[in-house]
Chain A
């Protein structure tokens, strides 16, 4: 059976995991690392992803992009806080999908995320030695419909069938529950690179019932970096630095320094920030000692912003902090000591920190993939929708159809009619959010019911069913209550791609086909490399023939070159190294053949050899 992988598509890093029997494991890449930095850089028009792209953030600012997850399902009007600190050129109209200019071309966030997913897909394919087409992908629990849909679109563009979108804190809890195996109430505090989630779950006999969730999809490690960047930029400007904020290279250097200082302060009480004058376009280096107390004063308000959602989640679950049995920490930003302290204060207990906060989400995704594959009937996730779903009614007021924290899948039915005689279309504006007015909520989509038979106002009755599936994604169907016939609906998604656009992108994507082909070639060439490496090892161990030291060292060099190429992703280079090793071992192989032939001849009568 083909493998279903679990993918944690993170703001900062991404991972892919699988089930090794009953144990979830993160797939280690050819470079020996588990984390793939969620960075994309274009080299001669081709995307490179991960560490290599990350290294180009400063040197190739205009061809490199990261933190794409923060743009998923967002409009240009949502991104003002990021645009001050990220060196990207972003365009788009209000309530429409944004486009990010990288290497002189515009890309939508799902297209860029698809490149990261494709890299993870390739990793998995090399690991398994076969193609991978199905995946479970995680998203922040507080992601709205548009953000979930964008993630699903990215999967599709990467050539993956996304079997399920799973909430990150839920996935983390699944991995935790599998390991601990005891019942109780668990709060998962997930502060990642770009997003914050809090979820409260009830674990009972293998059922993981999410009771409530809350969060902020624009709050994470990136925002802590912005706080520190602001301090550095202000100080450089105070010493006469000019026009720093509009120079992408400078922003990148400052960002890197801020990030490094933040990480250092998780362990140390103080750290030195050094940015060479060259990077700032100045004669003077920037140098400053930063203490943990200073850092905490800078980011204290941001960390404090996570408390209110925690209290909201407790209230929604009708629980007090004392009723929580365990608090789990997830996400790279929970390494910050102040974050841990805040969690401990909010819940009145020390959080559980034994799990690797960076891997646990991907492990949970792999477990969910295993459940979907039908390999695990014991465990079941009952997740919820994080935001209330409603429709705009007269006067711009929202009428809630499905309240937040409702277990999914779920549905609600509403009857619609016409306001004018002979009206043939009805528009339904669907929103997500907790506010009373439509303008304060998030627009999901406008649905137009078309082809209603002309009748006096108020006579037609169109029954519309709003179904939120197990991925947390909305599907709307309608039927004429009198005729029972299905009603045509035209969907205009806010902030997203239409189905046609996704299809077109898939078709247009030549790199896509090329990437698939090169993956297949790579897999085949790798197995060929293994064959020749094994044969060479046997030949070198033989005592049938003499191997001069010079020949041996030449072969050994070719072997190590091939092994190095095997750890990479370039099938052409791998092919070249196979040829090189082949050439280096040919004389030895011939001598071994001769020796074998001689041995065969020696022991057997001449006639027998002629007959065979």
Chain B
């Protein structure tokens, strides 16, 4: 869900004193807690720059803690039922926003959701080279599961090596992801062209895609090496 659903009649006036609110969490006039406005997104909820992708975990945590102190329902216990309910809803949205944005992968997925109307339509294939490599590895994993004796030992050593190199590749996609984040933030700040943005979003989607193929293979591989059955079977 790209935007957060709230009551329709929250508008931009304070529900308590009817003064304009400017989309803030608290009324600038009477300091009453306000419902989450429609059309807000996780970035604005956490008080961050619009769609900023390079986020330092420590800064994000600080923002989350500070907001939690302001809106957590624990601090609204002696208030009116309406204020309690708004706090409960606002805190829930803050929690979901933090959970989404602190994880680079979930954050990327969220950006893609915000920027692309129907994310389901873009189902890119991974590059043929990666795909064929992964299929080959899965075949060796299967052979290992059925192997015994000296052959098993040799296969195990080989698969351990493969495991290490796949982990390295996955880490590389993370580095690439962070580089793409910085590029994105520059594009937004400098009001770059729509084409440049679209091509960067495409790149982000590809990276997520590669990563998820790698993750599946690594999981199968780890399970096989630990002597466990194939995950999910």
Contact = CB atoms under 8 A, between A and B. Distances in A.
Interface of A: 163-164, 204-205, 207, 209, 368, 371-374, 377, 380-382, 406-413, 436, 463, 465, 467-470, 484
Nearest to A463: B5
A407 B65 contact: no
A413 B5 contact: yes
Interface string B97-117: 011000000000000000000
A409 B68 contact: no
A407 B74 contact: no
Contacts of B75: 371, 374, 377, 380
Given A163-B77, A368-B74, 12 more contacts: A164-B74, A374-B75, A377-B75, A380-B68, A380-B69, A380-B72, A406-B96, A408-B92, A409-B73, A410-B92, A413-B1, A467-B88
A381 B95 CA distance: 13
Interface of B: 1, 5, 8, 65, 68-69, 72-75, 77-78, 88-89, 91-93, 95-96, 98-99, 232
Contact of A204 (B65, B74, B78, B91): B65
A209 B62 CA distance: 12
B86 to A, nearest CB: 12
Closest 8 CB pairs of A and B: A409-B92, A407-B95, A372-B77, A411-B92, A470-B73, A410-B95, A207-B65, A410-B92
A470 B88 CA distance: 8
A421 to B, nearest CB: 26
A373 B73 contact: no
A469 B68 contact: no
B95 A406 contact: yes
A408 B77 contact: no
Q: Taking chain B's interface residues, is the majority helix, strand, or loop, or is none over half, making it mixed?
A: helix
B3 to A, nearest CB: 11
B78 A467 contact: no
Nearest to A4: B77
Contacts of B98: 407
25 contacts: A205-B65, A207-B69, A371-B75, A372-B74, A372-B77, A374-B75, A377-B69, A377-B75, A380-B68, A382-B68, A406-B96, A406-B99, A409-B73, A409-B89, A409-B91, A409-B92, A409-B95, A410-B92, A410-B96, A411-B93, A467-B88, A470-B73, A470-B88, A470-B91, A484-B8
Contacts of A467: 88-89, 92
Contact of A469 (B88, B93, B99): B88
A290 B4 CA distance: 63
Contacts of A372: 74, 77
A470 B74 contact: yes
Contacts of B232: 436
B72 to A, nearest CB: 6
